[in-house]
Amino acid sequence: MKIRTITIYGLFDECDCSVSLNQGPVTFIYSSNGFGKSTIMRAVVALLKGEFDVLSPMPFERMDVNFSGDMTLIVENRNGTKVLVQKNELEQTVEESELRRMFQVTYISPERQIVRKKDGHYVPAISVYAAELRDRIRYAKDNSSLLQPEDSQRPDLSDGEFVFLFKDLKAKLDFMKGAGLEPEMPSGLRFPPERHDLTTKKRKDYQDLAFGLNDYIRKFYQLAESIVVFKDIVNELMIKKVIEINEKDNLTVRLNSGKELPLVSLSSGEKQIMVIMYRLLFQTEHGSLVVLDEPENSLHVEWQQKLGGILVDLARLRDLQFVIATHSPQIIHDKWDMARELKANNAGNTDAGRHCE
């Protein structure tokens, strides 16, 4: 389900605001400072995550979020928080746990460069994410042995279908190799096989191999894809340096001279890009809603202008819906057809509308 419209009533006890989202995967939302963009974005995120305790103190009376498929979530926030789901003109209450099951949401706040750990300490996000990535790569490498199927799990295909399947598996494994991930291949089997390899004598071995490789790719292909895309995006933007994953599976920065730099020594803008891309590629589920607030922070104009196109590509790659709150026309750049202004519905009265600005 994709969000179509967001309407909020009694924002700051002064006005009603609404925005209709772009039909495509990315919507840029802009307005004056203090209008309430960030408040509305946080309210939408809290609603879809089922965080009623976050919604309750927020300064609005009611919020309607309409989705494709003609479903609407209604938040009544006057005396406590109550959430209704409306579909086919019928309304019923919905619980926090049900909302959590219904939606996948990633919220990337303006304060994204710092992460609070479980012990309450605040640490640089880039360091936390680098350690997390290292652990995920090591887990994949520690689990590179191919799973053996039960008799009923072996694929029963014709010779031609097997040849086609193994060519597809080979292409995917070659791609994963670019991320440093490879399975442990059995000896004595040509890969990919040709028709004459699929004899009765070796057919069972190739059936087992096909099952094991499919299982390995299912488990780790998205990790490999995320690594490759992450490196491609960041390195396309970096000047006189590249990010790499070294032999110890650590994310590193290397100057063109060959000198290695610690991640924390990167500029604020470089860390911003790496944090945003890491959140999107490694911490966001396929098909999620992504709310990205003020992506322009610390970014040079040239990077701001490129970021919109990058986000559109990622939306298509992972079937994401982006709602991006921004003050920067450079972020929108040449995509004004995807931009929507957040407006007060009662803004005809300048004095009343000003309270929302």
Render pLDDT for 215-237 as a digit per residue (tens, 0 to 9): 999 999 999 999 999 999 999 99
Same domain for 43 and 89? Answer: yes
Same domain for 136 and 227? Answer: yes
| Residue 222 domain-assigned (yes or no) | yes
Query: Mean per-residue pLDDT for 1-25?
Result: 91
Backbone φ, ψ for residue 283 (5° rounding): -125, 10
* pLDDT given for residue 229 in this prediction: 98
* pLDDT given for residue 14 in this prediction: 82
At residue 274, does pLDDT exceed 70?
Answer: yes
Same domain for 75 and 136? Answer: no
* pLDDT given for residue 346 in this prediction: 58
Query: Mean per-residue pLDDT for 307-315?
Result: 96
At residue 348, does pLDDT exceed 50?
Answer: no
Same domain for 97 and 4? Answer: yes
* pLDDT given for residue 318 in this prediction: 96
Same domain for 10 and 86? Answer: yes
pLDDT band at 78 (very low <50, low <70, confident <90, very high): confident
The residue among 185, 208, 231 that closes a domain is 231
> Which tops the pLDDT comparison, 201 or 106?
106
301-318 and 268-282 helices, crossing angle to 10°: 10
Same domain for 33 and 88? Answer: yes
| Residue 253 domain-assigned (yes or no) | no
Is the backbone of residue 159 left (phi > 0), alpha (psi -120 to 50) or beta?
alpha
Same domain for 24 and 99? Answer: yes
At residue 124, does pLDDT exceed 70?
Answer: yes
What digits encode the pLDDT tens for the residues 148-172?
A: 999 888 888 898 999 999 999 999 9
At residue 349, does pLDDT exceed 60?
Answer: no
**Structure tokens belonging to residue 210:** 């096909």
* pLDDT given for residue 351 in this prediction: 41
Distance CA 291, CA 280 (A): 11
Highest mean pLDDT among 110-119, 269-278, 341-350: 269-278
Query: Mean per-residue pLDDT for 116-127?
Result: 90
Same domain for 3 and 94? Answer: yes
Q: Where are the alpha helices (DSSP H) in 199-356?
A: 200-237, 268-282, 301-318, 329-332, 350-354
Same domain for 97 and 146? Answer: no
* pLDDT given for residue 198 in this prediction: 87
pLDDT band at 350 (very low <50, low <70, confident <90, very high): very low
Same domain for 144 and 98? Answer: no
**Structure tokens belonging to residue 325:** 């709150």
| Residue 276 domain-assigned (yes or no) | no
Same domain for 66 and 140? Answer: no
Amino acid at 286: H
Using alpha carbons, select from 161, 182, 187, 163 the residue that is nearest to residue 172: 182
Using alpha carbons, select from 13, 91, 341 the residue that is nearest to residue 75: 91
- Number of domains the chain contains: 2
| Residue 275 domain-assigned (yes or no) | no
* Residue numbers of the domain that contains 23: 1-104+288-357
Beta strands 71-76 and 82-87, pairing class: antiparallel
**Of 31-35, 152-156, 246-250, the least confident:** 31-35
| Residue 251 domain-assigned (yes or no) | no
Here the CATH number for the domain that contains residue 337 is 3.40.50.300
| Maximum Cα–Cα distance across the chain | 85
| Residue 310 domain-assigned (yes or no) | yes
Average pLDDT, the chain: 91
| Residue 252 domain-assigned (yes or no) | no
The DSSP bridge partners found for residue 324 are 28, 292
